[in-house]
Structure 1
Amino acid sequence: MLIASYNPTQMGDVLLTMVRPEAAAQATEQKGRIVRIFNAENNETLGFNFFDVSEILADLAVKGQVFLDQAQVETLNQALQTAGFEPELVFDDEPKFVVGYVAELTEHPDSDHLHIAKIEVDNDQTLQIVCGAPNIEAGQNVVVAKVGAMMPNGAMIWPGKLRGVDSYGMVCAARELELPNAPKKRGILVLDPAEFAARTAFDFEKGAKLFTA
């Protein structure tokens, strides 16, 4: 997993990368212009911050989440190695927002409003996701933010538990995806299967036209 973010207006010329979720106890070490963030209990790398990154990658023009290509990842790994760190970034081109098919829906054993959904997504994966939306039903095509997704508001999607049940992603509402003119009422975005095929990457450009005024 590799998640990258670049926001020069707020953070300066710094590329933030994450390879694992945050840990309860974290520590950092700096070598040159690179900071490694790691789990203080087991020394696992959680991410790296690359300062003055435009001197390493000259083509970063995105504000927000950055989808690094293989050549960019290799360049960052070379910078890590030069600084004295392990070159442990791994290229990740798996889509994080996908159209999922709700194959199964059961009631949560410890909640009167949560559901446990089994959702088929890309790469022959079936994800278990706990969802509290009142309009979710089996047989729907929905937008799934998979583990490793960065929401438009900057929130990260990591594995979690809801009332003791494992959940690996989030079923999204249109407003959570910040689609133009999205309705403010509660409920997930249910897609027309003829327009949005299940088990494929979600097309944000097409989604932006769903609620045109």
Structure 2
Amino acid sequence: MIFAYNKQNVGDTLMVIVKNDENKDNAIEKKGDVARVQTTDGTTVAWNFFNVSEYLPIHGNGQVELSEKEIEILNEHLKLAGFEERLATDLSPKFVVGYVKTCVPHPDSDHLHITETEIDGGKTLQIVCGAPNIAAGQKVVVAKPGAMMPDGQMIWPGNLRGVDSFGMICSARELHLPNAPEKKGILVLAEDAKIGEKFEIGK
């Protein structure tokens, strides 16, 4: 689930993206200051909370983080608007320090690699990576499913040439870090970086 806010370009609207969906035939149901976006089969893929700053202080541009209390406030507005669904609470960071445990060539590609990368909570994600400098034993930055990159790209589980991938191992340029090198390649962190620790990105 992605919380996104861009007052300058979108207005005072908090967008909550629940699922990855590129269908342009979705239906929109608006009740008061809340709108639900659903697919033709009735699956909710997003919510829009209009005039959100009237009841929720929003800081930042792009992906924003909400506290458990702030999500409760959004759920209360869903209830008041007459919607039965509620937003789930997930306070885990979306960008974390990862450790590449294994890295093997993709069987159907001359440049992709399949990694097993440890993240927060002791979890391990299978992530397909195309960076030329990816290797086992590295500390890296992982954008988990539900992350929004500084350029607006949203990270969801995907499939690259027949292999499932759950997240992205990031370069300094993708993270909008200052003085990022032009040369392609993922950002390799210092050996003392703590696995699972939140990584602060540029906006």
TM-score by length of 2: 0.94
Q: Which amino acid aligns with 2:39?
A: N
* 5+ residue gaps, structure 2: none
Distance 1:204-1:23 versus aligned 2 partners, 3 A rule:
closer
* 5+ residue gaps, structure 1: 206-213
1:30 aligns with 2:27: no
Using the alignment, how far apart are the partners of 1:156 and 1:78 within structure 2? 27
Using the alignment, how far apart are the partners of 2:22 and 2:82 within structure 1? 23
Among 65, 77, 80, the alignment partner of 1:79 is: 77
- 8 Å CA contact 2:62–2:148 kept in 1: the answer is no
Partner of 1:68: 66
* 1:36-51 matches, cutoff 5 A: 36-41=36-41, 43-51=42-50
SS at match of 2:122: coil
Among 99, 123, 128, the alignment partner of 2:126 is: 128
Using the alignment, how far apart are the partners of 2:74 and 2:199 within structure 1? 28
Using the alignment, how far apart are the partners of 1:32 and 1:68 within structure 2? 22
SS at match of 1:47: strand
* 1:76-115 matches, cutoff 5 A: 76-115=74-113
- 8 Å CA contact 1:23–1:39 kept in 2: the answer is no
Using the alignment, how far apart are the partners of 1:50 and 1:85 within structure 2? 13
Distance 1:18-1:163 versus aligned 2 partners, 3 A rule:
same
Using the alignment, how far apart are the partners of 2:136 and 2:64 within structure 1? 33
Mean alpha-carbon deviation: is it higher for 23-32 or for 123-132? 23-32
- 8 Å CA contact 1:68–1:91 kept in 2: the answer is no
- 8 Å CA contact 2:29–2:37 kept in 1: the answer is yes
Query: What percentage of residue pairs aligned between the two structures are identical?
Result: 54
Partner of 1:7: 6
Q: Which amino acid aligns with 1:110?
A: D
| Residue 199 of structure 1, CA deviation | 2.6
Question: What is the Cα-based RMSD across aligned positions, in Å?
Answer: 1.4
Query: How many residue pairs get matched?
Result: 201
- 8 Å CA contact 2:176–2:201 kept in 1: the answer is no
Using the alignment, how far apart are the partners of 2:11 and 2:179 within structure 1? 31
Mean alpha-carbon deviation: is it higher for 141-150 or for 48-57? 48-57
| Residue 203 of structure 1, CA deviation | 4.2
Among 160, 169, 194, the alignment partner of 1:197 is: 194
SS at match of 2:102: strand
| 1:42-84, Cα deviation, whole Å (9 max, x unpaired) | x121121011112231x11322211011111111111111111
Using the alignment, how far apart are the partners of 1:102 and 1:64 within structure 2? 28
Using the alignment, how far apart are the partners of 1:28 and 1:87 within structure 2? 15
- 8 Å CA contact 2:3–2:63 kept in 1: the answer is yes
Q: Which amino acid aligns with 2:166?
A: Y
- 8 Å CA contact 1:56–1:79 kept in 2: the answer is no
Using the alignment, how far apart are the partners of 1:145 and 1:100 within structure 2? 9
